[in-house]
Amino acid sequence: MKRVLLSSLVVLLLVSASLAQQVTTTVTSGTGSPTQLQSNIGGISVGYVKVGSKEVGNIAWHPDFKVGPWGAGFDLNIPLGENKPLDYENAVLRYVEYDDSKKGLRYGIIDNLTWGHGMLISNYSTRLNNVDVLQHNDQLALKGYVDMDSYVVRGLNTRSGILGVRVEERINPMLTLGQTYITDSDGVIPAGTTEAQKVSAIGLDASVPLPWNFEGFAEYANLVGRGSGWGAGLSWGQDFMVASATFLAEYRFMDSNFVPGYFNSEYEYNPINLTSAEATGNSKNGYVAQLGLSALGLANLNARYENYNDSDTASVRADLFAKLPGEIEATYYYSQPNFSNFRSLTLEQGAVIGGSLAYPVNPFTKVVAHFKKAYNSDTLQVEESQYYELRLSF
């Protein structure tokens, strides 16, 4: 019986893989003009998932479809066993969207959302835990924008109760103003507490272009009833043909009860306790520095460092991508949203490490290993998740 099951599985994989390919078709729109239909129906993989003490074999399919401004992507997972991780789902809608460069609406998983220069919303994510390498449907949210030349209006609405709106006004070529409002009607519960922490906030920012590709900016944010902060800085970017670089530096002045970037990547599962943040009564003035480097698509480095006086709400993070000889692709990332000093770089203090390594066996097959380590505030332990897969594409 096991041999029959194994043979059937192998046949299924071979048939599925033979169908997996990159398809580009020209279709006719209602106006008679041609439209590109692009569908990546590849991404068949067989692998192994481990999250904490839960582990299971997995057959996955990750198709993406795009026709004109419309796009969609989803995951189909078939478990090979019963010991599935808690958030394992058989069908996940990663996103569905419309974007014609002047207006767009996306329903899906949101990552790395920053409005303004991050004083209020910095790399916000809808992900509900820091350990799992899989995606699931509870992370979905609505994000949209409308560009009316002189004005850009942006919106956010999540399943967790967050509602945000931002208006950017292009006063003239030399001045752009931004206004942000965000509120969480359900709130979040910081570790060690039992009461929901509900916050509404407003933000204002302005930017002006400067010579030699520099830009000057200033920003203000207020957590209503909980303090405010403001800052000013410079950003710069340059494309050198074979490489490009970006840089940002900002100094911030903040009340003792204000937390910069309060809506951040860990907001949904490990929010900052505002009561603890203001306990010292001291101001948290400090600076932010950010660097980005890219070279011919072969390597990318992004790093950000925040340092504040008498505060545990600073952060340090970095991510690296490199294409190595033999078409091997490697990624690595590190994050510590609650940085206070270099002793807090440990996993037990909230740091996160992760990455992936993709090794091409032949033109049609890749072996990919994903890993992630993070502190789980629910179990009070450092947990590791792993995902090994054999990707097939023809």
Mean pLDDT of 233-246: 93
Q: What is the pLDDT of residue 339?
A: 61
- Reported as a single tens digit per residue, the pLDDT across 15-44 is 333 333 344 333 333 333 344 444 455 567
pLDDT value at 138 more than 90:
no
Q: What is the pLDDT of residue 36?
A: 44
* pTM, entire model: 0.79
Q: What is the pLDDT of residue 349?
A: 67
- Do 140 and 282 contact (CB within 8 A), yes or no? no
Q: What is the pLDDT of residue 257?
A: 83
Q: What is the pLDDT of residue 13?
A: 36
Mean pLDDT of 47-59: 80
Q: What is the pLDDT of residue 26?
A: 32
**The CATH fold of domain 2-392:** Porin (2.40.160)
Determine the Cα–Cα distance for residues 292 and 305; give it in Å rounded to an integer.
Answer: 12
Please give the residue that has the higher pLDDT: either 306 or 207. 207
DSSP conformational letter for 14: H
Q: Six-digit token pair at 365?
A: 């097959």
pLDDT value at 313 more than 80:
no
Q: To the nearest whole number, what is the mean pLDDT of the chain? A: 82
Mean pLDDT of 229-247: 94
Mean pLDDT of 198-220: 96
- Reported as a single tens digit per residue, the pLDDT across 86-98 is 778 889 999 999 9
- Reported as a single tens digit per residue, the pLDDT across 341-380 is 555 556 666 778 889 999 998 888 888 888 888 777 666 6
- Say which residues have a Cβ less than 8 Å from residue 121's Cβ, sequence separation at least 6: 113, 114, 115, 164, 180, 182, 203, 261, 263, 264
Q: What is the pLDDT of residue 80?
A: 86
Candidate ranges 162-176, 260-274, 294-308, 350-364; pick with highest mean pLDDT: 162-176
Q: What is the pLDDT of residue 310?
A: 61
Determine the Cα–Cα distance for residues 388 and 394; give it in Å rounded to an integer.
Answer: 20
Determine the Cα–Cα distance for residues 290 and 307; give it in Å rounded to an integer.
Answer: 12
Q: How many CB atoms lie within 10 A of CB 390?
A: 16
pLDDT classification of 132: cutoffs 50, 70, 90: low
Sign of CA dihedral 49, 54, 55, 59: negative
pLDDT value at 165 more than 80:
yes
DSSP 320-353: EEEEEGGGEEEEEEEEEEEESSGGGGSGGGT-EE
